[in-house]
A and B are shown apart, each in its own frame.
Chain A
Amino acid sequence: DADVTQTPRNRITKTGKRIMLECSQTKGHDRMYWYRQDPGLGLRLIYYSFDVKDINKGEISDGYSVSRQAQAKFSLSLESAIPNQTALYFCATSDYPQETQYFGPGTRLLVL
């Protein structure tokens, strides 16, 4: 079984809808992250969490919110989806202090 899982893997939604992307991990890591990737670009950090009570904004947090329900679960919500949020979304976890990030398989989101 994969160490980092994301659901759904693909999602099509309409402008204005609220959607949630979920991430679960079995690696036992405290640190979790959400990134988005746009075609031809690298990864941009949306939010990150160093433990259940610690959540921080990344470089592009506007229009997104997160919830760290447990050490193993970190959800990303789009409050009111817009077309320019169409992207590939990755969840990641990391160990400390080595900080290697391990990624989930990604969620392809299309906002119409």
Chain B
Amino acid sequence: AQKVTQAQTEISVVEKEDVTLDCVYETRDTTYYLFWYKQPPSGELVFLIRRNSFDEQNEISGRYSWNFQKSTSSFNFTITASQVVDSAVYFCALSEKNFNKFYFGSGTKLNVKP
């Protein structure tokens, strides 16, 4: 079974629309960390956020927000008022502290059209 599932392979929206990228994870560890990374067309991987398993507070950073829900093992990422520059592949990842493992989802490609 996949540790991190990003069911949306590709999403297309028009600029200024809001968009949510889904991430579902699976772990037996009690202490773990969740991450989102952005990979723009240029190819580099940019760290966006880390959330530990004991902190379920949602986080907002500008147009970006993250919704962490342990009850559903989800860590979803919302972009408000999307812009063309948001076009990228977004990866969700899980780090299991006690198992020393790091897992990436397969990524969601976001296309924001003008």
Contacts and interface: CB of A to CB of B under 8 A. Distances in A.
Contacts of A43: 91, 104
B97 A97 contact: yes
Given A42-B107, A43-B91, A99 B47 contact: no
A101 B37 CA distance: 10
Nearest to B39: A37
A98 B50 contact: yes
Nearest to B42: A105
A43 to B, nearest CB: 5
A42 B43 contact: no
B33 A99 contact: yes
Contacts of A97: 97
Given A42-B106, A42-B107, A100 B35 contact: yes
Nearest to A35: B104
Interface string A64-87: 000000000000000000000000
B102 A99 contact: yes
Task: Determine the main DSSP class of A at the interface with B.
Answer: strand
Contacts of A50: 100
Interface string B27-54: 0000001010100000111010010000
B82 interface: no
A99 B43 contact: no
Contacts of B97: 97, 99
B109 to A, nearest CB: 9
Given A43-B104, A100-B35, A106 B91 contact: no
Interface of A: 33, 40-43, 45, 50, 88, 90, 92, 94, 97-103, 105-106, 108
Interface of B: 33, 35, 37, 43-45, 47, 50, 91, 93, 95, 97, 100, 102, 104-107
